């Protein structure tokens, strides 16, 4: 039985946990306020879920998802994540996060910052480009004609294979966007960002619209740096 650890159990963390429980994983949730504040979510998720402190969730996870506001990334426990594959869902929003000049000038990317903070872990960027409600509603079994794909990026091929298998179990194909430095291709406001799964029509906002690997690849290829976009 594989255990998924979650550092952060909000919109995205709670949704990944829900999909993981449905796929047969044990999940250990954590947040900043303490396990007792996650009681309702744990009850809702059922017997495969429990809540703990962040360091305990990190320790318990065979695979760990960091899904917190970016400004808190330096508080992610380092030692219990040594040697582990860590999925990073974080995005940079100036109005919420502290200003980070290296992200403003695009000399690095959000997941490279987490990788720098976790030098002994293998960070893979995933789940950052889909609205949490769509992440739940668009999950499909392998082979379904309307299955969606999600981009991933990382510097370690084996870690990316682990995350690809995890996405498959949760209901998604994966598209390899390259190394962590290529993560900008599906950062906030790019073609591969959340709008890709919004689609058209009255229910699009809630249910989302599937986007397959071909659509994700096309969006990644069309990605433009913020600086280039501002010149328009
Ligand atoms: N919302 C989306 O649809 C979406 C989609 C893709 C990616 N993302 C990105 O994914 C990340 C999480 O987004 P979200 O919408 O799930 O946020 P959220 O609903 O605000 O949840 C954030 C979670 O992080 C926890 N947290 C904050 N600081 C922490 C710390 N130091 N240690 C452990 N846990 C901590 C919070 O716990 P407390 O409540 O106890 O503080 C909460 O459980 C963000 O970077 C966001 O940009 C969001």
Pocket test of ligand 1: the residue of 11, 87, 118 to mutate, having most ligand atoms within 8 Å of its CB, is 11
pLDDT band at 21 (very low <50, low <70, confident <90, very high): very high
**CA-nearest residue, atom 41 of ligand 1:** 32
pLDDT at site 214: 98
pLDDT band at 232 (very low <50, low <70, confident <90, very high): low
DSSP assignment string, 5-44? EEE--SHHHHHHHHHHHHTT-EEEE--SS-GGGGHHHHHH
pLDDT at site 95: 85
Averaged over 178-189, what is the pLDDT? Answer: 97
228 or 112: which carries more pLDDT confidence?
112
Query: Tens digit of pLDDT for each residue in 103-142?
Result: 999 999 999 999 999 999 999 999 999 999 999 999 999 9
Alpha-carbon distance values, 193 to 59, 74, 203, 227 (Å): 31, 25, 19, 17
pLDDT at site 206: 80
Q: Is 51 in the pocket of ligand 1 (CB under 6 A)?
A: no
pLDDT band at 205 (very low <50, low <70, confident <90, very high): confident
For residue 145 the two structure tokens come to 């004609």
Pocket test of ligand 1: the residue of 6, 29, 32 to mutate, having most ligand atoms within 8 Å of its CB, is 32
pLDDT at site 134: 96
Q: Is 187 in the pocket of ligand 1 (CB under 6 A)?
A: no
Query: Tens digit of pLDDT for each residue in 41-62?
Result: 999 999 999 999 999 999 999 9
* Secondary structure of 116-160 as H, E, C letters: HHCCCCEEEECCCCCCHHHHHHCCCCCCCCCCCEEEEEECCHHHH
Averaged over 218-227, what is the pLDDT? Answer: 93
pLDDT at site 20: 98
Find out whether 61 and 3 touch, Cβ atoms under 8 Å: yes
pLDDT at 208 over 80: yes
Query: Side-chain half-sphere of 44: how many Cα atoms within 13 Å?
Result: 10
pLDDT at 207 over 90: no
Query: Tens digit of pLDDT for each residue in 69-80?
Result: 999 999 999 999
For residue 214 the two structure tokens come to 């071909």
pLDDT at 81 over 80: yes
| Residue 4 to residue 64: CA distance in whole angstroms | 6
| Residue 27 to residue 166: CA distance in whole angstroms | 13
| Residue 135 to residue 131: CA distance in whole angstroms | 6
**CA-nearest residue, atom 18 of ligand 1:** 10
Q: Is 10 in the pocket of ligand 1 (CB under 6 A)?
A: yes
Atom index in ligand 1 nearest the CA of residue 15 equals 16
């Amino acid at each position: 039985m594989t255990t998924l650890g979650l550092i952060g159990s909000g919109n995205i963390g709670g949704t990944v946990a829900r999909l993981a429980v449905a796929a047969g994983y044990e999940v250990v949730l954590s947040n900043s306020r303490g396990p007792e504040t996650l009681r309702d979510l744990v009850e809702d998720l059922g017997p495969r879920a429990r809540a703990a402190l962040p360091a305990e969730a990190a320790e318990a996870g065979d695979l760990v998802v960091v899904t917190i506001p970016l400004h808190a990334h330096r508080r992610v426990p380092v030692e219990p994540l040594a040697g582990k594959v860590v999925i990073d869902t974080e995005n940079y929003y100036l109005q919420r996060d502290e200003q980070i000049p290296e992200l403003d000038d695009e000399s690095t990317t959000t997941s490279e910052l987490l990788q720098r903070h976790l030098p002994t872990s293998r960070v893979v960027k995933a789940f950052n480009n889909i609205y949490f409600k769509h992440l739940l509603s668009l999950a499909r079994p392998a082979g379904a004609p309307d299955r969606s794909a999600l981009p991933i990026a990382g510097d370690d091929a084996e870690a990316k294979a682990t995350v690809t298998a995890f996405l498959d179990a949760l209901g998604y194909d994966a598209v390899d966007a390259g190394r962590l430095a290529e993560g900008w291709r599906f950062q906030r406001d790019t073609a591969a960002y959340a709008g890709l799964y919004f689609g058209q029509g009255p229910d699009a906002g809630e249910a989302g619209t599937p986007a397959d690997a071909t659509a994700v690849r096309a969006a990644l290829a069309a990605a433009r740096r913020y600086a280039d976009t501002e010149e328009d």
